[in-house]
Amino acid sequence: MSETLEHTDERPTGHACIQSYLKTLDSSPGVYRMLDSESRVLYVGKARNLKARVANYARPSGHSPRIARMIRETASMMFLTTRTETEALLLEQNLIKQLKPRYNVLLRDDKSFPNILVSRTHGYPQIKKHRGAKTEPGNYYGPFASAGAVNRTLNQLQKVFLLRNCSDSMFESRTRPCLLYQIKRCAAPCVGYVSEADYGALVADAERFLAGKTTKVQEDLAREMQTASEAMEFERAAALRDRIRALTQVQTAQGINPRGVAEADVIALHMEGGQACVQVFFIRANQNWGNRDYYPRTGSGAEAPEILEAFLGQFYADRDPPRLLLLSHEIDNADLMTEALSEKLGRKVEIAVPQRGEKAELVEGAARNARESLARKMSETATQARLLDGLAEAFDLDAPPARIEVYDNSHIQGTNAVGAMIVAGPEGFVKSQYRKFNIRGEELTPGDDFGMMKEVLERRFKRLLKEDPERKSDAWPDLLLIDGGAGQVSAVAGILAELGIDDVPFVGVAKGIDRDHGKEEFHKPGAPPFALKHNDPVLYFVQRLRDEAHRFVIGTHRAKRAKAIGATPLDEIPGVGATRKRALLAHFGSAKAVSRANLADLKAVDGISETLAEAIYGFFNERG
């Protein structure tokens, strides 16, 4: 793999620029990047034959309006050759995710999906939700579309199979069964109410269910219930009946459970008004494990095949594909995508666009959901646009704000002080842009709200000035909303003036005289306070923004306070991480008891070596 970049200040732009590269290119496969006059990446593409692809762009006509605009803006190009076109496809999608070029289709929401894990690190396996790398020993089932889908399934599985979800340390410390046993959601293996063999049978049944063998599980439970009833063990028969009912509820909640599709992702695209929605349904073990919708950026007018192909490449860049992908539209390079995904998975992956039968019905269902989701999204976007127009009018802004930043801080008598920033724009709250600020100023007076706000804003805008002094990115706000009145507004004006920022409008939002929700006063520099009509939608919008900032900062503050409360002197000892800390606390009962332990007792703790025991003993001995 080799990369070349050719660019000089004298190089022409547009078709002439692209034409000038042809003499240096060969027919190798690879990836190309088109850059504008300021070296910002406009587009990343792949090619089976780089020279042929670039020659196509060099033609002065025959391009779509989107491609024609991109060509006009091109001032230089970069090339990276690969051994195969499949390698080029994978590299292309990685670069798109990394560089986010303006003219590419971009998958904007790319969170990991949760799984259900049946752990194998204990004689009585635990069943739990798992997200992230699959490093813990055990059997993984998923992906599920959301944490909610996992939690609902786990909740029902506990009723059916009575498996524990407590941590190993909690399991070891129990002396009597917990509440889950009382409400018939756990067999209480922690106190020996079920043998390891019988618990293992429950685990096997749960895994059979998660593998799609529900009929066999139901038959076994029904047979056990009949046997218990005939033996006049009516309490046991009733418990088995309740488990069968819970199992039925799980299947009902899953909705469509295809008979002929064991494992697939069903992916449907709907486009309207220049926007796109991709709906993904996860079918595993003949069960529907939920769905999720995505709204990719469409690259200024890309067509359906390009959007869907880009979605597949980016969606499966860091997750394993299933054996079968059912699509609503054909893609341009289906054979290449199939080869790339099969290579990634280590087994054959099939891509199909079904026309009839159960598979076509699944795709039609996903397409209907995509259509309805996009309609809702467009309606919400239109409403948001009207609110932003109203906000611009109410606050006398030059234009509707594309980025609103709302600031708040929280503390208890000055302790565990934190600041927070939330972001909103044309598409609502932009949670990926939320930021937390641990207040560091040692010279601050406890409870000094002005000082805390000063620190937060200075850190925020000093970083902006450093990273984007020419304001070319969309990270600069069009409006700041500050929780407070005239004093806060005056302080913010001083902070921004010190930083040399005089073109970012800001407004203070203060509760009225009787501090009622709905009677807010608004403060702007050099202007008297004003209010909006009680039933003005813009007022409700501002209230939602402020409430969201308050919710976020309170959650951040509580998490920091909880962490501080849970801190112990053990956290300060080099070599004592979370696992060894748990082992010490489980063995001795408290950090205070650890500090009083002698060297021999410390050495007796599982996972504590002789050297570490000496370090722990020395730490507390020196402190004493």
Angle at 210 between CA 206 and CA 214, to 5 degrees: 80
Quick check: 281 and 366 in contact, CB under 8 A? Answer: yes
Angle at 285 between CA 280 and CA 287, to 5 degrees: 55
103/315 Cα distance (integer angstroms): 18
Most confident of 4-18, 41-55, 516-530: 41-55
435-438 and 415-425 beta bridge pairing: antiparallel
Q: How confident is the model at residue 502 (pLDDT cuts 50, 70, 90)?
A: confident
Count of CB atoms situated within 10 Å of the CB of 215: 9
> Is the per-residue pLDDT at 402 higher than 90?
yes
394 to 383, 406, 526, 543, 546: CA distances (angstroms): 16, 17, 16, 14, 16
Instruction: Over range 150-172, report the average pLDDT.
Output: 85
Instruction: Over range 513-525, report the average pLDDT.
Output: 72
205/187 Cα distance (integer angstroms): 14
Most confident of 110-114, 146-150, 565-569: 146-150
Taken in order of first residue, the domains within the chain and their CATH numbers are 2-103 (3.40.1440.10), 115-253 (no CATH), 263-375 (3.30.420.340), 404-563 (3.30.420.340), 569-623 (1.10.150.20)
User: Structure tokens of 495?
Assistant: 């902070």
Q: How confident is the model at residue 382 (pLDDT cuts 50, 70, 90)?
A: confident
Instruction: Over range 158-167, report the average pLDDT.
Output: 86
> Is the per-residue pLDDT at 97 higher than 80?
yes
> Is the per-residue pLDDT at 603 higher than 80?
yes
Percent of the chain's residues with pLDDT above 90 = 36
Greater pLDDT, 500 or 556: 500
Quick check: 140 and 130 in contact, CB under 8 A? Answer: yes
DSSP state of 26: -
The pLDDT of residue 76: 93
296 torsion bin: left (phi>0), alpha (psi -120 to 50), beta (else) = beta
266/352 Cα distance (integer angstroms): 10
DSSP H or E stretch at residue 43? strand 41-47
- How far from each other are the two terminal CA atoms of the chain, in whole angstroms? 61
| 548 closest CA partner among 483, 470, 467 | 483
Lowest mean pLDDT among 63-67, 155-159, 411-415: 411-415
Percent of the chain's residues with pLDDT above 70 = 90
Peptide bond into 143 cis (omega under 30): yes
For residue 145, the one-letter residue type is: A
For residue 238, the one-letter residue type is: A
The pLDDT of residue 481: 93
> Is the per-residue pLDDT at 485 higher than 90?
no
> Is the per-residue pLDDT at 565 higher than 60?
no
DSSP H or E stretch at residue 280? strand 275-284
Q: How confident is the model at residue 8 (pLDDT cuts 50, 70, 90)?
A: very low
The pLDDT of residue 392: 94
Instruction: Over range 259-281, report the average pLDDT.
Output: 91
- Averaged pLDDT score across all residues of the chain: 85
3-class DSSP assignment, residue 594: helix
Q: What residue ranges in 364-414 does DSSP mark as E strands?
A: 404-412
337/354 Cα distance (integer angstroms): 17
Count of CB atoms situated within 10 Å of the CB of 362: 22
Q: How confident is the model at residue 443 (pLDDT cuts 50, 70, 90)?
A: low
Produce one character per residue of 494-526: b if its CB has 16 or more CB atoms within 10 Å, e if not: ebbeebeeeebbbbbbbbeeeeeeeebbbbbee
20/531 Cα distance (integer angstroms): 61
The pLDDT of residue 446: 62
Which residues contact residue 505 at a Cβ distance below 8 angstroms, ignoring those fewer than 6 apart? 395, 397, 478, 479, 480, 524
| 48 closest CA partner among 303, 335, 329, 320 | 335
Alpha-carbon torsion 546, 548, 552, 554, what sign? Answer: positive
Quick check: 521 and 483 in contact, CB under 8 A? Answer: no
Residue 423: strand pairing partners: 405
Instruction: Over range 176-201, report the average pLDDT.
Output: 90
Quick check: 587 and 593 in contact, CB under 8 A? Answer: no
* Length of the chain in terms of residues written: 624
> Is the per-residue pLDDT at 253 higher than 70?
no
> Is the per-residue pLDDT at 395 higher than 90?
yes
569 to 187, 338, 590, 598: CA distances (angstroms): 37, 54, 11, 17
437/420 Cα distance (integer angstroms): 6
Phi, psi of 525 (to 5 degrees): -60, 130
For residue 334, the one-letter residue type is: A
Lowest mean pLDDT among 302-316, 356-370, 461-475: 461-475
Lowest mean pLDDT among 77-81, 300-304, 515-519: 515-519
361/314 Cα distance (integer angstroms): 26
Quick check: 141 and 210 in contact, CB under 8 A? Answer: yes
> Is the per-residue pLDDT at 570 higher than 80?
no
| 310 closest CA partner among 286, 292, 329 | 329
User: Structure tokens of 428?
Assistant: 């609502």
User: Structure tokens of 583?
Assistant: 């082992």
Quick check: 139 and 207 in contact, CB under 8 A? Answer: yes
> Is the per-residue pLDDT at 255 higher than 60?
no
| 401 closest CA partner among 430, 379, 434 | 430
Instruction: Over range 107-136, report the average pLDDT.
Output: 85
User: Structure tokens of 388?
Assistant: 């932003």
Instruction: Over range 193-198, report the average pLDDT.
Output: 91
343/353 Cα distance (integer angstroms): 21
287 torsion bin: left (phi>0), alpha (psi -120 to 50), beta (else) = beta
Any idea which residue has 């496809």 for tokens? 89
User: Structure tokens of 600?
Assistant: 């021999």
Produce one character per residue of 550-588: b if its CB has 16 or more CB atoms within 10 Å, e if not: bebbeebbeebbeeeeeebebeebeebeeebbbbbbebb
The pLDDT of residue 7: 46
> Is the per-residue pLDDT at 624 higher than 50?
no
Residue 510: strand pairing partners: 521
For residue 188, the one-letter residue type is: A
Residue 117: strand pairing partners: 128, 140
